[in-house]
Structure 1
Amino acid sequence: MTNLTILTGRITKDLELKQAGQTQVTNFSLAVDNPFKKDDTSFFDIVAFGKTAELLNNYCGKGSKILIEGNLKQDRFQDKEGNNRSVIRVIANRIEFLDSKGSNQQNGQPQQQRGQAPTGNNPFSNGNGPIDVQDDDLPF
């Protein structure tokens, strides 16, 4: 029997890393849009443990778009009134970052731009100028 779930969506709140015994854990909700119906979003409870939880906490935040691969886990319990309840969560086994933590921040701060690293004392850098090669230096 197979129990595999793959979801792509956005994290709904800032993540909080907690210690549970000897391992780290983070719980969060993932908003997943219905591709066939506008304004139809489902919210799934996700649990990540260990290195997965640590990576999520370090590189993702509210609004981050991620892909989760995991399995469904049903927890049964009784509420304060003694009623039997059930909740289904996705236990994350694998994650993919579809954008970075900073790409969704809306605080007006400019994001770090990607570009060429400064050359400094790079012996292979020619300053993007022409290279002087003599015909005698070529082996053909």
Structure 2
Amino acid sequence: MINNVVLVGRLTRDPDLRTTGSGISVATFTLAVDRQYTNSQGERGADFVSCVIWRKAAENFANFTSKGSLVGIQGRIQTRTYDDKDGKRVYVTEVIVDSFSLLESRRDRENRQTNGGNFAPQGGNAPSTNNFGGSSAPSTNNAPAGGESNKPQDPFADSGSTIDISDDDLPF
């Protein structure tokens, strides 16, 4: 049987770090994961996934993330039940996190928080962050003085030569 989950998304709130009666750390959080497709109005929906992380990883996760942090997690889906105060059975499905990755730098996260959730790199030479947490290096080709342009530059523009690719160069 295979039960493996890999998600990339943003935290909807700060992680809630607690300690069990036996002294084990546990953090709970909700991850907003964008859906791949847009609806008829062109808006992209999101799924809000409940997650739980345990022990030292929970402490690290709570210390290094906050609301809006872009993270990648790997874990497994777990379903549990309990009876609420009215005696009604409640079913809970959550991701038990085995490992996580921080997908944005501390500077990018702080910039986003000070700009009300919008990413705005400092100066013209700061790398921009894409939706997947990667960064694209700033281009120096034909950029105005002071780096006013944040538009990506074509690396092949004004090269003056054509690119010749033979069939032997292709991987397929």
- So what's the TM-score if we normalise by structure 1? 0.71
Give, in whole Å, the separation in 2 of the partners of 1:80 and 1:18: 22
1:47 is aligned, of 34, 44, 52, to: 52
Q: What stretches of structure 1 move > 6 A for 4+ residues in a row? A: none
- Tell me: CA distance 1:8–1:77, structure 2 relative to 1, closer, same or farther (3 Å): same
What does 1:58-69 align with in structure 2 at a 5 Å threshold?
A: 58-69=63-74
Q: In the comparison of the two structures, how many residue pairs are matched?
A: 113
Give, in whole Å, the separation in 1 of the partners of 2:86 and 2:24: 32
Aligned to 1:34, the other structure's residue is in SS state strand
Question: What is the Cα deviation at residue 39 of structure 1?
Answer: 2.7
Q: Using the TM superposition, name which of 23-32 and 81-90 deviates more.
A: 81-90
Contact 2:37 2:44 in 1 (8 A): no
Give, in whole Å, the separation in 1 of the partners of 2:72 and 2:114: 25
What does 1:11-30 align with in structure 2 at a 5 Å threshold?
A: 11-20=11-20, 21-30=22-31
Question: What is the Cα deviation at residue 107 of structure 1?
Answer: 3.0
Give, in whole Å, the separation in 1 of the partners of 2:61 and 2:107: 13
Aligned-pair identity in percent equals 32
Q: Deviations over 1:78-111 (max 9, x none)?
A: 2222222201010000101101355334236xx9
- Tell me: CA distance 1:63–1:22, structure 2 relative to 1, closer, same or farther (3 Å): same
In structure 1, the gaps of 5 or more residues are 114-140
- So what's the TM-score if we normalise by structure 2? 0.59
Aligned to 1:63, the other structure's residue is in SS state coil
Give, in whole Å, the separation in 2 of the partners of 1:74 and 1:64: 26
1:107 aligns with 2:108: no
What does 1:110-125 align with in structure 2 at a 5 Å threshold?
A: none
- Tell me: CA distance 1:5–1:46, structure 2 relative to 1, closer, same or farther (3 Å): same
- Tell me: CA distance 1:65–1:36, structure 2 relative to 1, closer, same or farther (3 Å): same
What does 1:84-103 align with in structure 2 at a 5 Å threshold?
A: 84-103=89-108
Give, in whole Å, the separation in 1 of the partners of 2:88 and 2:15: 30
Counterpart of 1:56 in structure 2: which amino acid?
A: F
Residue 36 of structure 2 corresponds to: 35
Q: Indicate the structure (1 or 2) with the bigger Cα radius of gyration.
A: 1
Q: Deviations over 1:31-86 (max 9, x none)?
A: 00002223311101100011211121121111000111001111101222222220
